[in-house]
A and B are shown apart, each in its own frame.
Chain A
Amino acid sequence: MTEQTPSRTGRHEAGAPERDTTRPDGSDAGGTRTAWQRLARAGRPRPTKANVLATVLALGLGFAIAAQVRQTSIEGLEDLREDELIRILDSVDQDGNRLAQEIQELQQSRDRLQNDSTSLSEARGAAQQRLDSLGILAGTVPAKGPGIVITINDPKNAVTAPLLLDTLQELRDAGAEAIEINGIRVVVNTYFTDGEGGIAVSGKDVSAPYVITAIGDAQTLASAMQIPGGVTNSVRSLGGEAVIDTQESVTVSALQTVSEPQYARPVPSPSSS
């Protein structure tokens, strides 16, 4: 930079002692007016080469200012100093760690919930299975599956309750899982008695022909009925006839209501106490 010179042209870079600060108060108004006049005179368009050059420079300066302002506003991290970058990196790291921790916690709770729901549905499935098997055993739900239908014709009215009971035992021995006789579900407390007009199953009178539907392995059940000395033989010896029909799918639709036990109470199992 140029020195502060006493010459007429030396005042452009004026970091220097300011000569005009000590103007007498009396000349203030006049000084101000002349200053404005000077400014106006200097501002008057003069087609000199230097003026054109100055205009070009000013144009360039304005362009540069606009470009730089825009550059500053669009540029991201590239212009930052090292310590600022380190600070930003640190905060980003911390954010990342915090978010990773959050992800982990959320994943854990998600896994926990999934496990919960899985075990819940497993428990529900097991309970449903148990309910189904108990329902089939107790006769509270209809059952369907392969099995046989035995029709016992008894024209001489000679079939007795023990024969039906034997038939039932034979079927159970052969693995029958659900049985009904003439629309009466045979369950654990079914009993047979000889009544006056025929046979009573659990107190309900039934009469020939006796139709027994049993679900189980059809072949096993059929052969169990037909063994020598078995049901078929016995019925034939009584003058009746037992027709055994093996089917792919039979339905045991008769239901039995389960009554609340009046006297029996479950004994708590030792493991649950």
Chain B
Amino acid sequence: MIPALGLVAGIVVGVLLQPEVPIWLQPYLPIAVVAALDAVFGAVRAVLDGIFNDKVFVISFLSNVVVAAFIVFLGDQLGVGSQLSTGVVVVLGVRIFSNVASIRRHLFSA
């Protein structure tokens, strides 16, 4: 509950402050956000599975973000940044969908 409130509060703060994304962060932020979302949905699913662990959530969140950003960075260095970004987004999207499907089954048996 508190982390959910934190998410909402973060969105509100972001909307109110209207922060300028630094140039060096611009390529990585979208991917990092998607990776973090994947971690969040995975955490919700773990809660429903009864195997949620705070520490695992924190670590997976951070590692997801860092790895996603690193992949994009590596892709940029190799000259395949946009393709690799697309790949990461596709993979994370598939994972988010499967997590959401599992959550749905838990909550609505459907």
Which A residues form the contact surface with B (CB < 8 A)? 1-2, 8-15, 18, 20-21, 23, 28-29, 31-32, 35-36, 38-39, 42-45, 48, 50-68, 70-72, 79, 81
Tell yes or no: B78 within 8 A of A by CB: no
Nearest chain A CB to B68 CB, angstrom units = 10
Give the distance in Å from the alpha carbon of A50 to the alpha carbon of B37 in the complex.
Answer: 18
Give chain A nearest CB distance to B12 CB in angstroms: 8
CA distance A79 to B7 in the complex (A): 26
* Contact A59 B94, CB 8 Å, known A9-B51, A12-B39: no
- B11–A32 contact, CB under 8 A? no
Contact with B11, one of A38, A44, A65, A81 (Cβ below 8 angstroms): A65
The verdict on A14 contacting B102 (CB below 8 Å), with A29-B109, A54-B54, A61-B33 known, is yes
Residues of chain B contacted by A60 (CB below 8 angstroms): 10
Give bound CA distance, A28 to B29, whole Å.
40
Q: Which DSSP category, helix, strand, loop or mixed, fits chain B's interface? A: helix
Contact A20 B14 (CB under 8 A): no
Which size class do B's interface residues fall under?
Answer: 35 or more
In the assembled complex, which residues on chain A have CB atoms less than 8 Å from the CB atom of B47? 38-39, 42
Total of A-B residue pairs, C-beta within 8 Å: 180
Q: A55-B2, A59-B13 are in contact. List 15 more A-B contacts (CB 8 A).
A: A14-B42, A14-B45, A32-B109, A51-B54, A54-B57, A58-B4, A59-B6, A59-B10, A61-B37, A62-B10, A64-B10, A65-B11, A66-B15, A72-B30, A79-B26
Which 9 pairs of residues, A with B, have the shortest CB-CB distance? A62-B10, A66-B14, A50-B54, A43-B1, A55-B6, A58-B6, A35-B106, A62-B11, A12-B42
Q: Which residues of chain A are within 8 angstroms of B58 by Cβ–Cβ distance?
A: 50, 53-54, 57
Say whether B9 faces chain A, with CB atoms less than 8 Å apart.
yes
Binary interface encoding of chain B residues 37-68 relative to chain A, with 1 for a CB under 8 A from any of its CBs, else 0: 11110111111111111111110111110010
With contact pairs A18-B98, A38-B48 given, residues A67 and B19 touching in the complex (Cβ less than 8 Å)? yes
Residues of A near B64 (CB, < 8 A) are 1, 13
Interface of A (DSSP majority class)? helix
Residues of B with C-beta under 8 A to A36: 107
In the complex, which residue of chain B has the Cβ closest to the Cβ of A45? B2
CB <8 Å contact, A21 and B105: yes
Q: Tell me which residues across on chain B come within 8 A of A10, comparing CB atoms.
A: 51, 56
A11→B45 contact, CB < 8 A:
yes
Alpha-carbon gap, A45 to B31, bound state (A) = 30
- Minimum distance in angstroms from A68 CB to a CB of chain B: 5
| Nearest neighbor of B1 in chain A, beta-carbon distance | A43
Shortest CB-to-CB span from A7 to chain B, Å, is 8
Q: How far is it, in angstroms, between the C-alpha of A41 and the C-alpha of B95 when the chains are bound?
A: 25
- Chain B residues contacting A59 (CB-CB under 8 Å) are 6-7, 9-10, 13
In the bound complex, residues from chain A placing their C-beta under 8 Å from that of B38 are: 13
Q: Chain A residues with Cβ under 8 A from B30's Cβ?
A: 68, 72
A48: nearest chain-B partner, CB-CB: B54
**Complex-state Cα separation, A67 to B19, whole angstroms:** 6
Contacting residue for A51 out of B3, B39, B56, CB 8 A = B3
- Taking CB atoms, residues of chain B closer than 8 Å to A48 are 54
Task: Check if A15 sits within 8 Å of B1, measured CB to CB.
Answer: no
Do A81 and B82 form a contact, CB below 8 Å, given A58-B3, A59-B7? yes
A61 to B107, CA, bound (A): 24
Task: With A61-B33, A70-B18 as known contacts, state yes or no: A12 contacts B57, CB within 8 Å.
Answer: yes
